[in-house]
Structure 1
């Protein structure tokens, strides 16, 4: 009886912890919303906020109806909970990690929404809202869950090979979540093209400044806070000494990497531009967080700082290369932050985890990228043929707040209120 009571207490603590960490990750949706709202022009603010609210709602619904079952063979839509005491104990004794199925779903679904949020920023200011939302349904119901089933779901890749067996490791999703979202975003941006006026006739990039940097900074701090749930919750447990210590180390390393990423981006932007670029510093924070997400438990704090620092340096270089050399227009730097640095995070895992090889990480990264990029590109192309994916030049000039939402985010500043 005492053992059962102890187990029930551990179950309750672990489930509650899991749910709270999931709520922290859900709060990241607010972070993405205000970050993107701050980095786009004022005439597109209401649209991008609408997009972020709806993508979260769609992600939660599509993953509940279809996605979770694809990823884990555990459909949630018609599932209930046991009300009988004996049935409840049977569920408890079968729970290896001591968390409920409902808690697991909630934690997983906010990860899905995070991946979709990455796409939102990259396609900002020129993609039709309807096309984006249709894509969100398929991405969160099928594309992401399929990729997730090969990694966290433990299934083989179309019966050909098993990423788990070859040793691929991604603790909280540098590749599974972040690089996947960036891969979908890249396929869309290549098909969409740049925003009107982004490049002159000679192909030189023109800066298109965001409307509200205080909002962007607030969004970054919200994401920084939410990331403790993202990485800390991935420990899955809290109710024993080892798990509690693991959570503490994950929190420490996550924070250390974010701080080092900000410092790295600051130093490089200061050297490169002779000025401190706030947007680069903000992306440096996010780069440090993305980089450490693949393995926040094994590294020492010093190694976590190194991983974050390289992420912060890398994101500055990547943003400039994509923008100025490759002519890829990404208004918020999402492809660089989540894609390029997400890859670095995967490749950094063997530096602190002896059980992981570079070859396994490369195979895993390629599997994620190829699947998500190709399926997303095909879906974007189909949407382009059927309903179109880009707004007209006139709509782009007036702003998507008017053309897509019929309202303005700041009417008092335009004299229309």
Structure 2
């Protein structure tokens, strides 16, 4: 039986929208690379840029070979398909466009983890954990939440607590997974040399380029319009009993809640840090902005714009508070990745359980079906079903990533292929591992003086 003209047009528009969204999400890799490069010292810029490229290329292969099958197979609610089964694309349910979009998400996860362990990790270790994280650990979580057969999925036929957990674009699936992996990597490696003095006081190891950080932040902001609104993989879905509503109405709302949460978090972090440290800092507002985006990613499609402002305001203080705690505990994360993606991602999941609106939940997960009732935000009178599912998601992700990535990092540590030697770390990973510094001035000094001292020391 042939496909009607209307069906063909609908499929084409949905495919184009999904592909465009995938391209936007891929732009976030550029943003990650710029933020990572700007946040590390110049002597490690080449290394961190290379690891960002490796995250993408290794993740592409592992997600194609194994990851997609684990995420969107239908063998059981806990893991998509059996081990070593290749991802068969296309199939009766998923086409190439859907695969590409999910691939862009998978490679974003490893970028988060790379930031946590920057400036002291051997390059070979990146190859190992990138492959394992994007090919197995992340896809299993994606299956739980985003596959219709997943046990935590809000589209499952057997809804957990009558609700399922709502993580629309991945505050938990993407950000919390990457953050917990990075947390364990950073703890097992220990802080960078010189980050804390002999009495445990933090010493500043500032990144070398605020320009790159700001550029990366705006690129991530741009890409987030594919990350959140793009998660409507089919926009031409008409709601029953209406002539003017469909997923296309939710797309615009999702974009608005995204920018409001991020902007509120950015300005709150700017003023909050001004009160704490006494000056304005571009790095603070950039991290605060990203924290707001991370937090709203879970509930962006099911909350009102006014609620997104609350989300962003709280996420800013979550980030500020966790950074203070991290310093107290001598925890070193050059990009604040665990605090930002983990802390704000956790808050975002809880926020959804508090503020999700029933009408929007039904629009997104039941195509606006009339007569359907679902649990929604506790503070809006929706009971505890959704909030309970959100808490279970948080605990499950933390446990799963801990028991998988923790042993990987520990094994790399025991095999002495995780952290670089101290003398190479002090000299800079670029010259010790990659043949030269990223910047011509540093390379000129190396040829002229034959040592690894920063150029300002040589001229003093």
Does residue 278 in structure 1 map to residue 282 in structure 2? yes
Task: List 4+ stretches of structure 1 deviating above 6 A.
Answer: none
The 2-side partners of 1:210 and 1:70 are apart by 38
Does residue 217 in structure 1 map to residue 209 in structure 2? no
The 1-side partners of 2:277 and 2:422 are apart by 32
The 1-side partners of 2:63 and 2:389 are apart by 28
Say if 1:162 and 1:270 are closer, same or farther in 2 by CA, change over 3 A: farther
The 2-side partners of 1:320 and 1:201 are apart by 19
The alpha-carbon deviation at position 171 of structure 1 amounts to: 0.7
Say if 1:164 and 1:279 are closer, same or farther in 2 by CA, change over 3 A: farther
Say if 1:108 and 1:392 are closer, same or farther in 2 by CA, change over 3 A: same
Unaligned runs of 5+ in 2: 75-80, 238-244, 359-374, 377-385, 448-460
The alpha-carbon deviation at position 352 of structure 1 amounts to: 2.3
> 1:266 maps to which residue?
270
TM-score, structure 1 as length reference: 0.91
Which of 137, 140, 150 does residue 146 from structure 1 map onto? 140
Bigger CA radius of gyration: 2
* Cα deviation code 1:6-41 (max 9, x no counterpart): 111010000110011011000000000000100000
The alpha-carbon deviation at position 80 of structure 1 amounts to: 6.1
Say if 1:203 and 1:223 are closer, same or farther in 2 by CA, change over 3 A: same
Structure showing the higher helix proportion among its residues: 1
The 1-side partners of 2:259 and 2:190 are apart by 36
The alpha-carbon deviation at position 383 of structure 1 amounts to: 1.6
The 1-side partners of 2:142 and 2:354 are apart by 24
Does residue 307 in structure 1 map to residue 332 in structure 2? no
Does residue 380 in structure 1 map to residue 375 in structure 2? no
The answer as to whether partners of 1:163 and 1:364 remain within 8 angstroms in 2 is: no
Which of 103, 106, 109 does residue 103 from structure 2 map onto? 109
> 1:38 maps to which residue?
38
Number of residue pairs aligned between Structure 1 and Structure 2: 398
The answer as to whether partners of 1:147 and 1:372 remain within 8 angstroms in 2 is: no
* Matches for 1:14-53 after TM superposition, within 5 Å: 14-53=14-53
> 2:433 maps to which residue?
404
> 1:87 maps to which residue?
none
> 2:361 maps to which residue?
none
Say if 1:410 and 1:380 are closer, same or farther in 2 by CA, change over 3 A: same
The 2-side partners of 1:18 and 1:27 are apart by 14
* Cα deviation code 1:96-148 (max 9, x no counterpart): xxxx5211111111111111100111100001011121111111111111222
Which of 233, 237, 248 does residue 234 from structure 2 map onto? 237
* Matches for 1:105-184 after TM superposition, within 5 Å: 105-153=99-147, 154-156=149-151, 164-166=159-161, 167-184=164-181
Does residue 336 in structure 1 map to residue 339 in structure 2? yes
* Matches for 1:284-295 after TM superposition, within 5 Å: 284-295=288-299
* Cα deviation code 1:338-386 (max 9, x no counterpart): 0011000000002222524322111111001110022101011112223
> 1:325 maps to which residue?
328
The alpha-carbon deviation at position 3 of structure 1 amounts to: 7.6
The 2-side partners of 1:34 and 1:80 are apart by 32
The answer as to whether partners of 2:69 and 2:87 remain within 8 angstroms in 1 is: no
The alpha-carbon deviation at position 388 of structure 1 amounts to: 2.0
The alpha-carbon deviation at position 328 of structure 1 amounts to: 0.7
Which of 256, 259, 262 does residue 260 from structure 2 map onto? 256
* Cα deviation code 1:287-307 (max 9, x no counterpart): 010010001112111111110
> 2:382 maps to which residue?
none
Which segment is superposed worse, 237-246 or 193-202?
A: 237-246
The alpha-carbon deviation at position 2 of structure 1 amounts to: 11
Which segment is superposed worse, 225-234 or 306-315?
A: 306-315
Say if 1:80 and 1:372 are closer, same or farther in 2 by CA, change over 3 A: closer
The 1-side partners of 2:140 and 2:285 are apart by 34
Is the partner of 2:418 in helix, strand or coil?
Answer: coil
The 2-side partners of 1:213 and 1:62 are apart by 33
Say if 1:80 and 1:236 are closer, same or farther in 2 by CA, change over 3 A: closer
The answer as to whether partners of 2:39 and 2:206 remain within 8 angstroms in 1 is: yes
Which segment is superposed worse, 339-348 or 249-258?
A: 249-258
The alpha-carbon deviation at position 163 of structure 1 amounts to: 9.0
The answer as to whether partners of 1:280 and 1:316 remain within 8 angstroms in 2 is: no
The alpha-carbon deviation at position 65 of structure 1 amounts to: 0.4
The alpha-carbon deviation at position 309 of structure 1 amounts to: 1.6
The answer as to whether partners of 2:151 and 2:160 remain within 8 angstroms in 1 is: no
The alpha-carbon deviation at position 308 of structure 1 amounts to: 1.2
TM-score, structure 2 as length reference: 0.83
The answer as to whether partners of 1:151 and 1:164 remain within 8 angstroms in 2 is: no
Is the partner of 1:302 in helix, strand or coil?
Answer: helix
Aligned-CA RMSD value: 2.1
The alpha-carbon deviation at position 316 of structure 1 amounts to: 1.5
